[in-house]
Amino acid sequence: ITLSDANVIAAQIVEETVDYWLIKTPVKLIEETLEEDESEFELDNNMPEEQILGYAEVVYSKENLKQSQQRVALIITSIAIISVLVLSMILNFALAKLFTPLEQLAQTMRQAKASGGHLYAQIAGAKEIRKIAGYYNSMMAVLEQQESDLISHRDQLEAEVKIRTKELVEARDAA
């Protein structure tokens, strides 16, 4: 795009390519005439006279702009990668903190099933997991109490059977 000199009244881009800008601006001579009785500090309505001497054309390379764009893109990419890594580490930590107590509770339950014993779970983790562990421990306490009651009742019945058997043997021998 080329503009005629008459249309250029201020600095403007007259041509642009992939590698540079061509900027054209008029070179002006501004004359101020002071009358002898006027001071430099007085306001006047006289506009200075402008005279266009010619035009200056400057070719400005886009190389610096391209390098700046590449640096900015690299910085943004680096910040994005670092942010993703930091957020993934935070997320990994938070998920481990959430799921580790749940895994420990599940492991305790598997061990109790395999051994048949009354293993108690550690109460830790999120509120819901602590509740589940508490209910599990309550259930284990009830099972342990019931088993203790059954053992006590069994021992009592065995003692009564021994006594009754002894009485029957004595009655048989006496007859």
**Residue 120 · residue 109 · CB < 8 Å:** no
Encoded tokens for 95? 């998920």
Full pLDDT tens readout for the chain, 175 residues? 344 555 667 888 888 898 998 999 988 887 766 555 555 565 555 666 778 888 899 998 999 989 999 999 999 999 999 999 999 999 999 999 888 999 999 999 999 999 988 899 999 888 999 999 999 999 999 999 999 999 999 999 999 999 999 999 998 888 7
Q: Which amino acid is at 98?
A: L
pTM of the model: 0.49
Query: What's the CA gap between 111 and 51, in Å, rounded?
Result: 99
Query: What's the CA gap between 165 and 167, in Å, rounded?
Result: 5
Q: Are strands 20-31 and 12-16 parallel, antiparallel or unpaired?
A: antiparallel
pLDDT of 29: 82
Number of other residues whose CB lies within 10 A of the CB of residue 15: 14
DSSP class of residue 9 equals: -
Encoded tokens for 151? 């053992």
Query: What's the CA gap between 175 and 168, in Å, rounded?
Result: 11
pLDDT of 44: 55
pLDDT of 1: 38
Measured N-to-C along each axis, helices 127-174 and 63-115 cross at an angle, to the nearest 10 degrees, of: 10
| DSSP track, 20-89 | EEEEEEEEEEEE----TT--TTS---PPPEEEEEEEEEEEEESHHHHHHHHHHHHHHHHHHHHHHHHHHH
Q: Are strands 49-61 and 12-16 parallel, antiparallel or unpaired?
A: unpaired
pLDDT of 110: 93
pLDDT of 174: 85
**Residue 8 · residue 23 · CB < 8 Å:** no
